[in-house]
Chains A and B, each alone.
Chain A
Amino acid sequence: MGILPRGRVSIVMADIALKSSVKAPAREITAWDRLKVDRNWLGFWFMLPAAAFLILFLAYPLGLGIWLSFTDARLGRPGEFVGLENYDFLSDDPTFWLTVFNTILYTSVASTIKFAVGLYLALLLNERLPFKAIIRAVVLIPFIVPTVLSAIAFWWLFDPQFSIISWSLLKLGLITQSINFLGDPWNARWSVIFANIWRGVPFVAITLLAGLQTVSPSLYEAAVIDGATPWQRFRHITYPLLTPIIAVVMTFSVLFTFTDFQLIWVMTRGGPVNATHLMATFSYQRAIMSGYLGEGSAIATAMIPFLLAAILVSWFGLQRRKWQQGEEND
């Protein structure tokens, strides 16, 4: 009792010194004065610019988007509150459900393959290879090329009349007529998924490679001495140590894929017969092209639960030591 913590003592002493030397007119210390110097509030002050930025550019647009989805706003004029009317209309709009199906198919197939191919590439690149640096740089190329450019290239590759793929197969005598890549619903779906995978693999591969390089070689040496097979080494060393980064990479990958817009818009505009419309492109078409801002916002808002689920899975995973350090270590 009676012993002040050191910090308090020095502040008190400084206060006394200040008062006695300057002889300033005595003034009440206001709550504001305290807030300015209080250490607990200091953190708040430092956080303020970042928070303002986030609120202005993330929370506000998000909130506005959700609000718009409850109105009948049109481009060029504010709307009135209509409750769940937009959602009600969408709930039995077959095109909307088709886009939900397309989006889930697109995301799950593309993400799975991107993960598998990316991991495989990362493992390969982690080996001793000649020209390793160059090969690693080359792998990144699809990721560096602007999406719109690669989408245009794929659009030509998959053109119903001028596809080089069809042309080559025709010349080889393997097919008798051009493959209808983007004109047939399922062909079109696989084509855009392929383009997405091509573009997304480098991100997964390079990030996982970074993760692989943090694994200590001594663990592998010890395992080799114990007679572990390459599979066992992967299963019990590489994989468990890589899980945190896998969780992060896959979350990002799933988020990017789920919200993809450019590839689809350039290659198919959602066609044929809406077979490749994703929720993002459909939302744009309804909100901006047709001017139904409210309905478009409702479609965009409907993406949020899916995205939240993806984030939660990874967050939950990151918190669990079981995921990070292997099965037994709960």
Chain B
Amino acid sequence: MTLFTRRTLMQGGTAAAAAGALTGPALLDWAKAWAQAAPWKPEKGAKLSMLRWKYFVQSEDDAFVKLIDAFSKATGVPVQISRESYEDVQPKASVAANTGTGPDLFWGLYSLPHLFPQKCVDMSDVADYLGKKYGGWVDSAVKYGKSGNKWICIPICYSGNMINYRIEASTKAGFSKFPDKTDAFLEYAKAMKKNNTPGGFALGHASGDGNGWVHWCLWTHGGNTVDAKDKVIINSPETAKALEYAKQLYAEMIPGVAAWNDASNNKAFLAGEINWTDNGISIYVAAKKDATKKQIADDMDHSYWPVGPVGKPTELHLMYPVLAMTYTKYPQACKALMAFMLEADNFNPWIEAAQGYLTHCLNAYDKNPIWTADPKNKVFGEAAKRTLTAGGLGSVGEKAATAIADFVVLDMFANYCTGREDVKGAIAIADRQLKRIYR
């Protein structure tokens, strides 16, 4: 837990200053002017607490700390931040929603707010304000943000989950760039393994990387958990095809991926054990920062996911929505903070500091220099526009959130790839679970 004092601001200040943003008095003046003009006036004596996912890129958190501190100084509202591993935010938020006590704001993962839509403060006015001011929301963010006609959260950003690969090993295997079709990708994986430079995707209970690749695989072969009316349609020849493809791919991966969590592939990639995987930009950022890993940073690049039989991108990137609980005593302060976070003077330096880890959902931020400063960042800038939403064709509500949280699709793939179940068995287990979730 961090209580914002002058000292934490000083610590955070250095990194943000490097990002060339409004700093010190200039930022504070701007923040004060903003607070005067903003449509939301925090309640008297308001103080907020927020539980957020624990950062992956330190400079992102530094910039965040600075932003929050400017908010506190301008509005007089102290904000207490606690951080949890991103998969632990959801259980805590659920318990808080259930008991009606806890942090005022939760900044979590995917469709978290849809687990308890009736406990979220209506954010429609904030979303409209931001959308009008900053070139509109991308489609996927609208889907994540709204329950029925009202916005129940503010989609702050995505974290792109893209292919990370080593350039030299790929060239040696005969691929000058990363394959853009699924068939070619399978050939690539085979060639890479043959050269003793294999890769791998997490097949353990990895909320981000694991769910990312199995949903891509399912969707790109035309499989879906549910249709547009939330009817379960997992039991289809397309799903079977996706499973067959995954099993072939699994055979070319490094052993042990069934045990991987979200951190495993980062460790393995940075140790030079694997040469392709799916991840955010955090591997690249870590490699750039560590002088001993410079060679890896120079020799790696990122790519979109290969496209399969459906013929269009079917990616699943991590959405990070922030929500305010209805039990908060200070809803206006919550709204003010959320709007403040996404204002250009705050958001631009912040996503710059995140070094490509976070992707905006508001179109105006396409112009942020982070996406052009380094060509290896570019693909991450399009995460929000390329992503499908949790639940695929179906609604993004609590049912989709439950299916992801319960690893239904991930377990289906793991069951088949590891040989625990045959195709029919693996699909049947998922089908049964989905039918219960979507009843």
Please report A residues at the B interface, Cβ cutoff 8 Å.
Answer: 74-77, 89, 93-95, 159-162, 177-178, 180-185, 188, 268-275, 285-286, 288-293
Which 7 A-B residue pairs are closest in the complex by CB-CB distance?
A: A160-B256, A182-B259, A272-B258, A76-B116, A75-B94, A183-B259, A76-B97
Q: Which residues of chain A are within 8 angstroms of B271 by Cβ–Cβ distance?
A: 161-162
- Residue in contact with A177 in the complex, picked from B205, B255, B411, B415, CB distance below 8 Å: B255
Q: Which residues of chain A are within 8 angstroms of B418 by Cβ–Cβ distance?
A: 185, 272-273
Q: Looking at the assembled complex, report how far the CB atom of A227 sits from the nearest CB atom of chain B, in whole angstroms.
A: 56
User: In the bound complex, what is the Cα–Cα distance between A236 and B205 (angstroms)?
Assistant: 51
- Would you mind naming 10 contact pairs between A and B with Cβ atoms under 8 Å apart? A75-B116, A77-B98, A77-B116, A77-B118, A95-B411, A159-B267, A161-B254, A269-B205, A269-B261, A291-B398
User: In the bound complex, what is the Cα–Cα distance between A89 and B436 (angstroms)?
Assistant: 9
User: In the bound complex, what is the Cα–Cα distance between A180 and B415 (angstroms)?
Assistant: 17
Would A160 and B406 be within 8 Å (CB), given that A76-B116, A94-B429 are in contact? no
Would A273 and B97 be within 8 Å (CB), given that A161-B267, A180-B259, A289-B90 are in contact? no
Main secondary structure on chain A at its contact with chain B? loop
Residue of A with least CB distance to B117: A76
Would A161 and B273 be within 8 Å (CB), given that A180-B256, A273-B420 are in contact? yes
Cβ < 8 Å to A, chain B residues 228-277 = 254-261, 264, 267-268, 271, 273
Give the most central of A268, A285, A288: most B CB within 10 Å. Answer: A288
Q: Which residues of chain B are within 8 angstroms of A274 by Cβ–Cβ distance?
A: 411
Q: Is the CB of B402 within 8 A of A290?
A: yes
User: In the bound complex, what is the Cα–Cα distance between A108 and B84 (angstroms)?
Assistant: 35
Would A178 and B256 be within 8 Å (CB), given that A162-B271, A273-B418, A273-B420 are in contact? yes
Q: Is the CB of B205 within 8 A of A288?
A: no
What size tier do the contact residues of chain B reach?
Answer: 35 or more
User: In the bound complex, what is the Cα–Cα distance between A292 and B257 (angstroms)?
Assistant: 28
- Residue in contact with B259 in the complex, picked from A160, A177, A285, CB distance below 8 Å: A160
User: In the bound complex, what is the Cα–Cα distance between A273 and B416 (angstroms)?
Assistant: 9
Would A289 and B255 be within 8 Å (CB), given that A76-B119, A161-B268 are in contact? no
User: In the bound complex, what is the Cα–Cα distance between A76 and B261 (angstroms)?
Assistant: 28
User: In the bound complex, what is the Cα–Cα distance between A90 and B271 (angstroms)?
Assistant: 42
Q: Which residues of chain B are within 8 angstroms of A182 by Cβ–Cβ distance?
A: 256, 259
Q: Which residues of chain B are within 8 angstroms of A74 by Cβ–Cβ distance?
A: 398
- Residue in contact with B255 in the complex, picked from A180, A270, A273, A293, CB distance below 8 Å: A180
Q: Looking at the assembled complex, report how far the CB atom of B397 sits from the nearest CB atom of chain A, in whole angstroms.
A: 12
B51 contacts A by Cβ under 8 Å:
no
Q: Which residues of chain B are within 8 angstroms of A270 by Cβ–Cβ distance?
A: 205
Q: Which residues of chain B are within 8 angstroms of A177 by Cβ–Cβ distance?
A: 255
Q: Is the CB of A286 within 8 A of B406?
A: yes
Q: Is the CB of B402 within 8 A of A160?
A: no
Q: Which residues of chain B are within 8 angstroms of A178 by Cβ–Cβ distance?
A: 255-256
Q: Is the CB of A271 within 8 A of B91?
A: no
Residue of B with least CB distance to A268: B259
Q: Is the CB of B414 within 8 A of A273?
A: yes
B95 contacts A by Cβ under 8 Å:
yes
User: In the bound complex, what is the Cα–Cα distance between A183 and B203 (angstroms)?
Assistant: 9
Q: Is the CB of B258 within 8 A of A184?
A: yes
Give the most central of B204, B261, B411: most A CB within 10 Å. Answer: B204
User: In the bound complex, what is the Cα–Cα distance between A74 and B95 (angstroms)?
Assistant: 10
Q: Looking at the assembled complex, report how far the CB atom of B103 sits from the nearest CB atom of chain A, in whole angstroms.
A: 15
User: In the bound complex, what is the Cα–Cα distance between A40 and B167 (angstroms)?
Assistant: 85
12 new A-B contacts at CB < 8 Å, known A75-B116, A160-B260, A285-B406: A75-B94, A76-B98, A159-B267, A162-B267, A188-B259, A269-B204, A271-B259, A272-B414, A273-B420, A288-B94, A291-B115, A293-B98
B405 contacts A by Cβ under 8 Å:
yes
Q: Looking at the assembled complex, report how far the CB atom of B6 sits from the nearest CB atom of chain A, in whole angstroms.
A: 34
Q: Which residues of chain A are within 8 angstroms of B406 by Cβ–Cβ distance?
A: 285-286, 289-290
Q: Is the CB of B258 within 8 A of A183?
A: yes
Q: Looking at the assembled complex, report how far the CB atom of B147 sits from the nearest CB atom of chain A, in whole angstroms.
A: 13
Q: Is the CB of B256 within 8 A of A271?
A: no
Convert B79-99 into 0s and 1s, putting 1 for each residue whose CB lies closer than 8 angstroms to a CB of A: 000000001001100110110
Q: Which residues of chain B are within 8 angstroms of A75 by Cβ–Cβ distance?
A: 94-95, 97-98, 115-116
Q: Looking at the assembled complex, report how far the CB atom of B179 sits from the nearest CB atom of chain A, in whole angstroms.
A: 25
Q: Which residues of chain A are within 8 angstroms of B261 by Cβ–Cβ distance?
A: 269
- Residue in contact with B94 in the complex, picked from A76, A160, A188, A275, CB distance below 8 Å: A76
Residue of A with least CB distance to B418: A273
Would A271 and B414 be within 8 Å (CB), given that A178-B255, A184-B258, A188-B259 are in contact? yes
- Residue in contact with B411 in the complex, picked from A93, A273, A288, A291, CB distance below 8 Å: A273
Q: Which residues of chain A are within 8 angstroms of B203 by Cβ–Cβ distance?
A: 272
Q: Which residues of chain B are within 8 angstroms of A89 by Cβ–Cβ distance?
A: 436
Q: Looking at the assembled complex, report how far the CB atom of B365 sits from the nearest CB atom of chain A, in whole angstroms.
A: 32
Q: Looking at the assembled complex, report how far the CB atom of B374 sits from the nearest CB atom of chain A, in whole angstroms.
A: 28
Q: Looking at the assembled complex, report how far the CB atom of A310 sits from the nearest CB atom of chain B, in whole angstroms.
A: 29
Residue of A with least CB distance to B407: A285
Q: Looking at the assembled complex, report how far the CB atom of B141 sits from the nearest CB atom of chain A, in whole angstroms.
A: 23
Q: Is the CB of A93 within 8 A of B415?
A: no
Q: Looking at the assembled complex, report how far the CB atom of B402 sits from the nearest CB atom of chain A, in whole angstroms.
A: 5
- Residue in contact with B256 in the complex, picked from A93, A161, A268, A288, CB distance below 8 Å: A161
B177 contacts A by Cβ under 8 Å:
no
B181 contacts A by Cβ under 8 Å:
no
Q: Which residues of chain A are within 8 angstroms of B273 by Cβ–Cβ distance?
A: 161
Q: Which residues of chain A are within 8 angstroms of B256 by Cβ–Cβ distance?
A: 159-161, 178, 180, 182-183
Would A183 and B405 be within 8 Å (CB), given that A76-B115, A77-B116, A288-B94 are in contact? no
B150 contacts A by Cβ under 8 Å:
no
Q: Looking at the assembled complex, report how far the CB atom of A84 sits from the nearest CB atom of chain B, in whole angstroms.
A: 15
